[in-house]
């Protein structure tokens, strides 16, 4: 699976959009980009995933560049409850395993 690079920390004002970047320059054509978050020592929570098209769900939007070498997770209106560690993971789809390789992630601090 390709390696990802994320900034170790970011701040965001409450109510503003939080844009979390991720570099995955060695991604291959059949690898997906996944985002998870972990709120203060809880188990990680799935947010969104995508292959090459932009994706949106009730939690966030995922923007993947055309060359697929980087992506951005967007939380459109960040709240204090969005303070968490956000993990960007690149994974080869396989029907045999679903294992994920977590990096150190980005700690997002949402401030009032």
Partner 1 sequence: NAGVTQTPKFQVLKTGQSMTLQCAQDMNHNSMYWYRQDPGMGLRLIYYSASEGTTDKGEVPNGYNVSRLNKREFSLRLESAAPSQTSVYFCASSEPLVVGTNEQFFGPGTRLTVL
Half-sphere exposure of 35 (CA within 13 A, CB side): 30
Q: Cβ neighbours of residue 50 under 8 Å, at least 6 residues apart? A: 32, 33, 62, 64, 71
Judged by CB, which is closer to partner 1: 1, or 14? 1
Q: Which residues of 70-103 are buried (b: 16+ CB within 10 A; e: fewer)?
A: bbbbbbeebeeebbbbbbbbbbeeeeeeeeeeee
N-term to C-term CA, the chain: 37
Judged by CB, which is closer to partner 1: 3, or 77? 3
- Quote the least distance from Cβ 60 to partner 1, whole Å: 14
Judged by CB, which is closer to partner 1: 14, or 109? 109
- Quote the least distance from Cβ 64 to partner 1, whole Å: 13
- In the complex, the residues that contact partner 1 under the rule CB under 8 A are 32, 34, 36, 41-46, 49, 51, 85, 87, 91, 93-105
Taking the CB of residue 49, how many other CB atoms lie within 10 A of it? Answer: 16
Judged by CB, which is closer to partner 1: 18, or 86? 86
- Quote the least distance from Cβ 75 to partner 1, whole Å: 18
- Quote the least distance from Cβ 67 to partner 1, whole Å: 20
């Amino acid at each position: 699976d390709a390696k990802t690079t994320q900034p170790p920390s970011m701040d965001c004002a409450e109510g503003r959009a939080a844009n979390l970047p991720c570099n995955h320059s060695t991604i291959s054509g059949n690898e997906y980009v996944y985002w998870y978050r972990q709120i203060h020592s809880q188990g990680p929570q799935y947010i969104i995933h995508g292959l090459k098209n932009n994706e949106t769900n009730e939690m966030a939007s995922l923007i993947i560049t055309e060359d697929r070498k980087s992506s951005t997770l967007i939380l459109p209106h960040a709240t204090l409850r969005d303070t968490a560690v956000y993990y960007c993971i690149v994974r080869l789809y396989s029907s045999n395993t679903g294992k994920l390789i977590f990096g150190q992630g980005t700690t997002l601090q949402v401030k009032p």
